[in-house]
Amino acid sequence: MTAAYPLVLVRHGETEWSRSGQHTGTTDLPLTERGERQAAALAPLLATLLDPYPEPALVLASPRQRALRTAELAGLAAKPDPDLTEWDYGAYEGLTTPQIRVDRPGWTIWTGDPPGGETAEQIRARIDRLIARIRPALATGPVVLFGHGHAGRVIAARWLDLPVPYGRLFLLRPATPCVFGTEHDHPVIERWNLPNPVDP
């Protein structure tokens, strides 16, 4: 399990739907003006985080424009990786949690069963595949991932060898870096939701 270098996870900057609380899986929304400012503000923050280390061994982003644009404005050239896409919400795409709860009281994505979307088991397999793929790179340099809110929280849970529903414990804010590592060969989260200078 030893990772010589850190794994840095960044959620994309603000979009209209992230601001309104609408579930945004497959819909390819651009960043808002505030989201662009958040993404640009990541550049010095990530430079400071990565300064003690060699150049990143790997920089990956979800193929959605909001993640790729966040990486670009943060000053990193990211390779698109479909395993970093957001949870597929199926019929709940574009809906807010209160709207969904009209018919399904108490529902959250952590029940793992959006109708017509991706199950908890499917996203677990996808994120486990991603983590297995980046582990060799972490032996040679830091790895930076630009992704999404719920999928990013699944990455946190699976890094810690926790079941997918434990992702509910890791609120992930837009354009805030998080740092994963190991201690005594055990996976740990070193930092979470580092403040973005654009936000108070």
Q: Catalytic residue positions? A: 12, 86
Distance, in Å, from the CA atom of 56 to the CA atom of 19, rounded to the nearest integer, reads: 30
Helix (H, G, I), strand (E, B) or coil at 182: strand
Look up tokens 């060799």; give the residue: 136
Q: Is the dihedral of CA 25, 26, 32, 37 positive or negative?
A: positive
Choose among 47, 5, 39, 35: nearest CA to 146: 39
Q: How far is CA 151 from the centre of its chain?
A: 6
List C-alpha distances in Å: 42 to 46, 104, 174.
Answer: 6, 38, 11
Distance, in Å, from the CA atom of 53 to the CA atom of 184, rounded to the nearest integer, reads: 20
